[in-house]
Amino acid sequence: MTPGTIDLAGVSTAYEGSDLPVIRGISFSVAAGEFVVVGGPNGAGKTTLLETINGMLPITHGRATVCGLDVAASGTGVRTKVGYVIQNFAFDPLAPFTVGNVVIMGRYGILGYGRQPGEEDHRMAEEAMRLLGIEDLADRSIGKLSGGQQQKVLIAHNLAKKPEILLLDEPFSNLDLFTRSFVCDILTGIADAGCTVVMVSHAFDALPDREVRILAMKDGMLSLDARCRGDEVEEKIRNLSGSVHA
Ligand SMILES: Nc1ncnc2c1ncn2[C@@H]1O[C@H](COP(=O)(O)OP(=O)(O)O)[C@@H](O)[C@H]1O
Ligand SMILES: [Mg+2]
C-alpha cells in the first residue's frame, strides 16, 4: 500500500470533447503527509490539476498514480481515498438537507450503492463535525447557513470519508481572517497526522507554520516546485513573477 501519495509523470489532461490539453507535461511526486500549496494566476490550470488527481478528466499523455492506483484505470477507486472540497460551491437555500445529512453523505461513496450508514459511519461524521466546530449546527438546514459555515460543512463532509488525500480549491475565499486561521490550523493538524493536503490558495495569510511544498502553475505547466516554510510562500511566488498573483 502507498497511502496518500501522488505521482504524476508527464501528465497532460483535456476536458471531454476537446483535443487541446489544459495541463501539459506535469511531473511531480508528493509523499504522504505533505502540505502542498498550489499557486498561479486565473486560468493557469490549478482546478484542472486537482480534477486530474481526483481522476475526473481523461489523461491524454503520461501516467498518474494516486494512493498507488493508476488514475486512468481506477478513477472511482481513487475517489474513495481522496476528499475534494470544490471551488465556488453553492447550496440551494431550500435544499432539504441538514448539516448532519451533508456530513454523513461523505461516507456514501465508501459504503457503496444502497448501503445505509452504520454506527461507525455516524461516529466518523460526528468526529469530523467536532473537529470543524460545527456540531451545534448538525440539525440546521444547510442552505440557510453563511458561506463560511457551509465551507466548514463541506470540509467536514470530506473528512468524514477519512481520506488519504484532501484536495481543497481556494477554501479560504468565503472565510473571514479568524476563520481562515482556524481552518488553516485544522488542515495543518490533518497533514501532521499523515493525510496529504493539496490546497489551491492565494491566501498567503493562512498558511501552516511548518514546511510546505509549493507548486506554481502557469499556462497549464508547472513553473515552480519548491519546499519552504509557510511564511516564505508569498516571497517565493513574488520572486517568480514580480507579482503576488504569479
Ligand atoms: N469544463 C471545462 N471545459 C473546457 N475547458 C475548461 C473547463 N474548465 C476549465 N477550462 C479551461 O481550462 C483552463 C484552466 O482552467 P482552470 O483549471 O479552471 O484554471 P484555474 O483554476 O487555475 O483558474 C482555462 O483556460 C479554462 O478556460
Ligand atoms: Mg480554479
d(CA 167, ligand 2 centre) in Å: 12
127 CB-side CA count, 13 A: 14
- Residue 246 in any domain: the answer is no
Name the packing angle between helices 119-131 and 147-159 (round to 10°): 140
Alpha carbon 221 to its chain centroid, in Å, reads 19
Instruction: Kindly state whether residue 87 falls inside one of the protein's structural domains.
Output: yes
Give the position, in ligand 1's atom list, of the atom nearest the Cα of 44.
22
Per-residue pLDDT, 138: 98
Site to probe by mutation for ligand 1, drawn from 12, 13, 20, 22 as the one with most ligand atoms within 8 Å of Cβ, is: 22
Q: Assess if residue 37 is contained within a domain.
A: yes
Q: Is residue 133 part of a domain?
A: yes
pLDDT of residue 46: 97
Range(s) of the domain holding residue 149? 6-241
- The answer, yes or no, to whether any atom of ligand 1 lies below 6 A from the CB of 202, is no
* Residue 15 near ligand 1, beta carbon < 6 Å: yes
Q: How many CA atoms lie within 13 A of 231 on its CB side?
A: 1
Ligand 1 atom with least separation from CA of 16: 3
Q: What total of structural domains would you count in the chain?
A: 1
Give the closest ligand to the alpha carbon of residue 218.
1
Taking the centre of ligand 2 as the mean of its atom positions, its distance from the CA of residue 214, in whole angstroms, is 16
Per-residue pLDDT of the chain (246 residues; tens, 9 = 90+): 569 999 999 999 999 888 889 999 999 999 999 999 999 999 999 999 999 999 999 999 999 999 999 999 999 999 999 999 999 888 889 999 999 999 999 999 889 888 999 999 999 999 999 999 999 999 999 999 999 999 999 999 999 999 999 999 999 988 999 999 999 999 999 999 999 999 999 998 899 999 999 999 999 999 999 999 999 999 988 887 655 444
Q: Is 207 within the bounds of a domain?
A: yes
pLDDT score at 241: 65
Q: Would you say residue 77 lies in a domain?
A: yes
* Residues whose Cβ atom is located within 5 A of ion ligand 2: 46-47
Q: Residue 180's domain is classified under what CATH number? A: 3.40.50.300
* Virtual torsion, Cα 132, 137, 138, 140, nearest 10 deg: -140
Q: Establish if 1 belongs to a structural domain.
A: no
The verdict on residue 158 lying in a domain is yes
Other beta carbons within 10 Å of 211: 12
